[in-house]
Amino acid sequence: MEDLPVNTNHPAVRDYLALIRLQVLTPLSLLINVASVAVCAFLVHPSLGGVSRLYPTSISPNPPMVAIYIIAIYVGQIGYCVLLVTARKPETKKALIQGSGLSLVLANWIMALWAISWVLQWFILSSVLLGLLVLLLLYSNIVLLVYHPPTSSRPFDTALIHAPMRLFLILPLMLTLSQSIFIAVGHYWLPNCPLCYDRYEWEGFGVIFSLNFLGLLIIAIRRDIVWCAGAVWVCASVWRETPKSGPVQATVITFTALHIVVLVLSIIYAEVKGRREGPIALPPDDDEEVQRVRARE
């Protein structure tokens, strides 16, 4: 590198090289992720959904709905890869390099490994991988929100960087990590026991309530449409998989509606508050006040 005719220590050159690396590594990691999940979903027995139904828990989701959610994540990442190549604004390039960057590459590799560990029924390894996935995606989402926040002047950044990263985080954080841990610690029942669905119901209730309440706060504070859509789909995937115990079923149905209601109310509140505050009236100058007093006299 020292023999190159350019100064590789210059920040602009380093950012350019980092962007080139991401343009190669990100599509490659996405391809590995898609291939691994597709093989484990269609060519292996039991498949990803089959393992989920072999080990039913109090929070087990509906596999077809989870599959649709994962396809949405892949579609968002395809748009992300296109933006990697077509980005021109320096703010967008910084968000790609410093915000998501290698975190997304590593997350794709971890998800590919998780799919293999899941179909092999190595649930402790699956839980560890999902925990690492949550940490990686949580870190990159916090960096994006703090240092590269979404703005209306760059809608493609919001749609192709922030939205895919947030959707990717919601699934393991709100569902698959907890499900894997439940199975790893033995809190499941046999699939041929239709009357066992009320086992561990209060543990499932606690997990569902706490994670969805956290999501509700995020939606209320940030008016986050992406989080609302992801959380609603996750809740729907849980109550669509039957049978479910009463506390869990009631909780996920309630939060399915609450996420939407809180989002609408928070948007209305922000609009009303903005109209009430309006433009700030400045106090009159001293000369104007003197002229008004003389006019009254």
Does residue 283 fall inside a structural domain?
A: no
- DSSP-assigned letter for residue 194: T
Query: Which has more confidence, 294 or 64?
Result: 64
User: Is residue 247 domain-resident?
Assistant: yes
pTM attached to this predicted model = 0.88
Q: Give the max Cα distance, the chain.
A: 95
Assigned domain for 28 exists:
yes
Nearest to 243 by CA among 211, 204, 208, 196: 196
State residue 292's pLDDT score: 61
- pLDDT of 2: 53
Residue 68 has pLDDT above 60, yes or no: yes
Considering the domain boundaries, does residue 287 fall inside one? Answer: no
Which structural domain range is residue 114 located in? Answer: 11-275
Of 275 and 2, which is predicted with more confidence? Answer: 275
Task: State yes or no: pLDDT of 295 exceeds 70.
Answer: no
Q: At what angle do helices 63-86 and 11-42 cross, to 10 degrees?
A: 150
What is the number of structural domains in the chain? 1
Nearest to 171 by CA among 138, 220, 216, 206: 138
Name the average pLDDT for the chain: 89
Is 179 inside any structural domain? yes
Query: What pLDDT does 193 receive?
Result: 79
Residue 296 has pLDDT above 70, yes or no: no
Please write the tens of the pLDDT for every residue from 219-263. 999 999 999 999 999 999 999 998 888 999 999 999 999 999 999
Mean per-residue pLDDT for 55-83? 95
Cα distances from 120 to residues 40, 47, 113, 189, 192, in angstroms, run 10, 9, 11, 18, 21
Please check whether residue 4 lies inside any domain of the structure.
no
User: Is there a domain that residue 290 lies in?
Assistant: no
* pLDDT above 70: percentage of residues in the chain: 89
The answer to the question of residue 144 being in a domain is yes
